[in-house]
């Protein structure tokens, strides 16, 4: 019985130490045409693909990643389970500017539902959401965030008016050459990647 337990323990530790993804395979997944500009923009900031917490910590220590405030004028950060509240500086500034503009136009706030994800986070996410991408995304470089379009003012419902206002702001920043965005219906959010403007 004891031996069985030890074998089990050994098996478990070996299993646990193995990565849940294979970087080569992950990098080989071709992004769709819609996401290609997002990926290229994110890779422009000189951040290597984030594999684990250690990598994120390294960029925080270097001052390359800054913390996203839980609450700022025009936006709130949702409790994050599969991502981390850090972004490259330019992305944080852009998010804050967008929030400010949104508050001015609407007196409401939008909710940020996802920020920076490591490849390990992505594995965990895939276990609960089979739609989560197999390949890499701009979230893996600290330059992207998701804005929910069903949680304005923390109210879980469709709000066509506020959604239109948000889209106007996204369009405005897109035309300035500062962001790329795409509406993700499955996640009920706008996926926003900040460009190195
Ligand atoms: Zn996204």
The Å distance, Cα 15 to ligand 1 centre, comes to 30
The Å distance, Cα 6 to ligand 1 centre, comes to 42
Q: Which residue has the higher pLDDT, 102 or 3?
A: 102
Q: At what angle do helices 160-175 and 89-106 cross, to 10 degrees?
A: 130
| Two tokens, residue 150 | 């069903």
The Å distance, Cα 144 to ligand 1 centre, comes to 7
* Stated pTM of the model: 0.90
Cα–Cα distance measured from residue 193 to residue 29, given in angstroms and rounded to the nearest whole number: 19
Question: How many CA atoms, within 13 angstroms, populate the side-chain half-sphere of residue 26?
Answer: 19
DSSP track, 85-131: SEEEHHHHHHHHHHHHHHHHHHS--EEEEE-B--HHHHHHHHHH-TT
pLDDT digits (tens, 9 = 90+) for 76-101: 999 999 999 999 999 999 999 999 99
pLDDT digits (tens, 9 = 90+) for 123-172: 888 888 877 777 899 999 999 999 999 999 999 999 999 999 999 999 99
DSSP track, 29-73: SPPPTTTHHHHHHHHTT------SHHHHHHHHHHTSEEEPPSEET
The Å distance, Cα 38 to ligand 1 centre, comes to 10
Dihedral, CA of residue 102, residue 103, residue 107 and residue 111, to nearest 10: 70
Q: Where residue 48 sits, what CATH number does that domain have?
A: 3.30.1380
pLDDT of residue 158: 95
Instruction: Write out the residue range of the structural domain in which residue 36 sits.
Output: 2-194
Query: Which residues have CB less than 5 Å away from ligand 1 (the ion)?
Result: 146, 191
Dihedral, CA of residue 165, residue 65, residue 191 and residue 170, to nearest 10: 30
Cα–Cα distance measured from residue 194 to residue 138, given in angstroms and rounded to the nearest whole number: 9
- pLDDT-based confidence at residue 14 (cuts at 50, 70, 90): low
pLDDT of residue 17: 52
The Å distance, Cα 132 to ligand 1 centre, comes to 10
pLDDT of residue 21: 86
Cα–Cα distance measured from residue 174 to residue 18, given in angstroms and rounded to the nearest whole number: 40
- pLDDT-based confidence at residue 10 (cuts at 50, 70, 90): low
CA separation, residue 189 to residues 61, 108, 134 (Å): 30, 17, 19
Looking at the 3D structure of the chain, how many domains does it have? 1
Q: Which range among 12-26, 34-48, 117-131, 159-173 shows the weakest confidence by mean pLDDT?
A: 12-26
The Å distance, Cα 114 to ligand 1 centre, comes to 7
The Å distance, Cα 133 to ligand 1 centre, comes to 10
The Å distance, Cα 9 to ligand 1 centre, comes to 37
Q: What is the mean pLDDT of the chain?
A: 92
């Amino acid at each position: 019985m004891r031996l069985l337990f030890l074998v089990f323990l050994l098996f478990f530790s070996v299993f646990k130490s193995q990565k849940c993804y294979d970087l080569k395979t992950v990098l080989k997944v071709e992004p769709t045409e819609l996401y290609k500009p997002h990926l290229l923009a994110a890779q422009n900031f000189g951040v290597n693909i984030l594999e684990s917490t250690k990598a994120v910590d390294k960029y925080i220590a270097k001052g390359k990643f800054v913390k996203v405030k839980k609450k700022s004028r025009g936006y709130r950060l949702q409790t994050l389970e599969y991502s981390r509240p850090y972004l490259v500086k330019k992305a944080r500034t852009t998010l804050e500017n967008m929030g400010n503009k949104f508050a001015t136009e609407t007196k409401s706030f939008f909710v940020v539902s996802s920020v920076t994800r490591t490849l390990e986070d992505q594995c965990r996410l895939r276990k609960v959401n089979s739609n989560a991408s197999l390949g890499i995304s701009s979230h893996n470089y600290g330059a992207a965030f998701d804005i929910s379009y069903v949680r304005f003012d923390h109210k879980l419902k469709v709000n066509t008016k506020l959604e239109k206002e948000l889209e106007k702001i996204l369009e405005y920043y897109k035309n300035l050459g500062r962001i790329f965005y795409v509406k993700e219906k499955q996640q009920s959010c706008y996926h926003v990647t900040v460009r190195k403007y």
